[in-house]
Chain A
Amino acid sequence: MKKVLIILLIVLSMIIPVSYSKYHTSFKSTITINNRKPNYIVKFNSNSGIGSMPDMNLIYDTSYNLNLNTFTKEGYTFDGWNTEQNGTGKNYQDGESIINLTSVDNDTIELFAKWKNNYIYFQIPPDWNSTNVNVYLYNDQEKIYNAPWPGKPATLIDYQKKIYAYNIEPENINKYKNIIFTDTNNSEISAKKQTIDLSFSTNNLGKVFAPLVFSQFNKKRIYIFIDQNPSIYLWKRINNSDSTDLNWNNPIYINKKISGYGYEYIIDTQKYNMFKLISNKIITNDIRIPNQQDLTYKINKNTHQLSRYFYDGIWYDYNNWINTEYNIWMKNDYLSFIQIPS
């Protein structure tokens, strides 16, 4: 019995501790981390220009200045960079400070050169016969006589369609906003001029502009220097021998005072070719609006009739001319802003 008890104790002493112990094991190692910022490449595309520029290898979260452009394109001026070839992406200036153009490692960002067309193509009005056209650059449409004088000639590139090309100096594209061109056969700069907005050329990346349409050319600016506020009656006479008048009952009131006692009105010369002034003191005779030429009328203050007119450098007198007149200047200098075809 005692031996059995001893053996039982020995067996229990070996089993019980093992039964209550837990299995446990582990394995160890080391993972080494190298954590760096993304790298990316900026490539420069000449976008039909010539030359070459090295890529820039850049690191994320670090500022850089873009390399200065060395591409060139004949007849065009470099106008910065764009992320899209057609200029619809994000713009960057030459040498602009940039940071984080992408967060994708090993990404390549391509910047396309933008080019301004240095040439403006325009079509002169069909009634212009001259093959000599001068171009004037200016900024303020109300101060056209500040334009540089004399203007630079434009080049006739299509005789039948009367399309001219004018090369704008790169420095003038941003300096001037508008352009005037005149027929150099006319003695006065104001004889025939049209304006176009230079800014359109900056939207263009090398396309040839469609011929421009002078939709508002047939208008005339009339200055009336008079100490009253007259109504202006406009109508159309078919021809000189025909007394058929249209639109006679269509008074239009001058509403823009331009100086101490002057008034200004712009007349559509396709709709009207005759006018007269009527106030409580004066009724002028019928006055013909000249077709193209500038004209200055003088009206006798006493008789209210035309007394003389100035045309082509010469004063022509009516019979009742005396030296007391109202002045009416009619000028073909209505500034027509041309809609750029889309």
Chain B
Amino acid sequence: MKKYIHFLLIYFVIFSFNIIVNTYSKYNNNLLINKSIAIAKWNIEASLPNETLDLVSGSNIEDYIINISYKSEVASNYIIKLTNVPDEIEVSLNNNSYISSNNNQIIIDVRTINSSKEILNIQDTLHFKSTLATPNLLNHPIQIEVIFNQVNL
């Protein structure tokens, strides 16, 4: 009986260690990639410049370019999340337009990217436009977050 308890203790120690490693790895891409015990290779980098867009109401469209380097052995959901978006700002991607909801958020479920052993260079352009004729926004920050989630298998 003592032997079985001993085995169970060893099992739970190792199991707990694994949980900690994997939980942390969700927020650290490289840690998971370099972890020798990971099943999938997961190497994603995104270039999101801090950029100032000068919008003129009713007339111009300013572009914001997202560059992604993608290599993964699992498929991923690619999501763009914008927060603190004013009502008068319209964002469009791939001919779809979005305006902020009540909580000033825009969440764009861009697409699913299949697994790839080679590095894919992906570029997407967000188009920002002001829809109202009279706003005056100066140095208004919009937070942009590009999210990749493994597709459920």
Contact = CB atoms under 8 A, between A and B. Distances in A.
A37 interface: yes
A24 B148 contact: yes
Contact of A23 (B18, B76, B139, B142): B76
Contacts of A37: 56-57, 133-134, 136
Interface stretch (A6-14, A49-57, A252-260, A279-287): A6-14
Contacts of B46: 27
Contact of B133 (A17, A26, A31, A103): A103
Nearest to B134: A61
B1 interface: no
Contacts of B143: 28-31
A274 B31 CA distance: 122
Interface in A46-83: 60-61
Interface in B97-132: 128, 130
B5 interface: no
B55 to A, nearest CB: 4
B74 A36 contact: no
Contact of B150 (A24, A27, A33): A24
B93 interface: no
A26 B145 contact: yes
A206 interface: no
Given A10-B11, A36-B54, A36-B56, A18 B145 contact: no
Contacts of A35: 55-57, 86, 88-89, 130, 135-137, 140
Contacts of B54: 34, 36
Interface in B10-26: 10-11, 14-15, 18-19, 22-23, 25-26
Interface in B56-109: 56-60, 64, 72, 74, 76, 82, 86, 88-89
Given A18-B22, A34-B52, A35-B55, A9 B11 contact: yes
Contact of B11 (A2, A13, A24, A36): A13
B53 A2 contact: no
B45 to A, nearest CB: 8
A174 interface: no
Contact of A26 (B3, B60, B146): B146
Nearest to A2: B3
Chain B interface category by residue count: 35 or more
Given A23-B40, A60-B57, A105-B59, A34 B18 contact: no
A32 interface: yes
A33 B10 contact: no
A36 B14 contact: no
Given A9-B10, A10-B10, A22 B58 contact: no
Given A22-B150, A103-B133, A32 B59 contact: no
30 contacts: A2-B3, A10-B10, A13-B18, A14-B37, A15-B37, A17-B19, A18-B22, A18-B38, A21-B23, A23-B42, A25-B44, A26-B145, A27-B145, A28-B48, A28-B145, A29-B50, A31-B53, A31-B128, A33-B89, A33-B137, A34-B54, A34-B55, A34-B139, A34-B140, A35-B89, A36-B55, A36-B57, A36-B136, A38-B56, A105-B59
Given A24-B148, A32-B51, A36-B55, 14 more contacts: A10-B14, A24-B150, A25-B26, A25-B27, A26-B146, A31-B53, A31-B141, A31-B144, A33-B52, A33-B139, A34-B55, A36-B54, A60-B58, A103-B133
Interface of B: 3, 7, 10-11, 14-15, 18-19, 22-23, 25-27, 29, 32, 37-40, 42, 44-46, 48-60, 64, 72, 74, 76, 82, 86, 88-89, 128, 130, 133-150, 152
The 6 closest A-B pairs by CB, nearest first: A29-B48, A23-B150, A35-B137, A27-B46, A21-B22, A105-B56
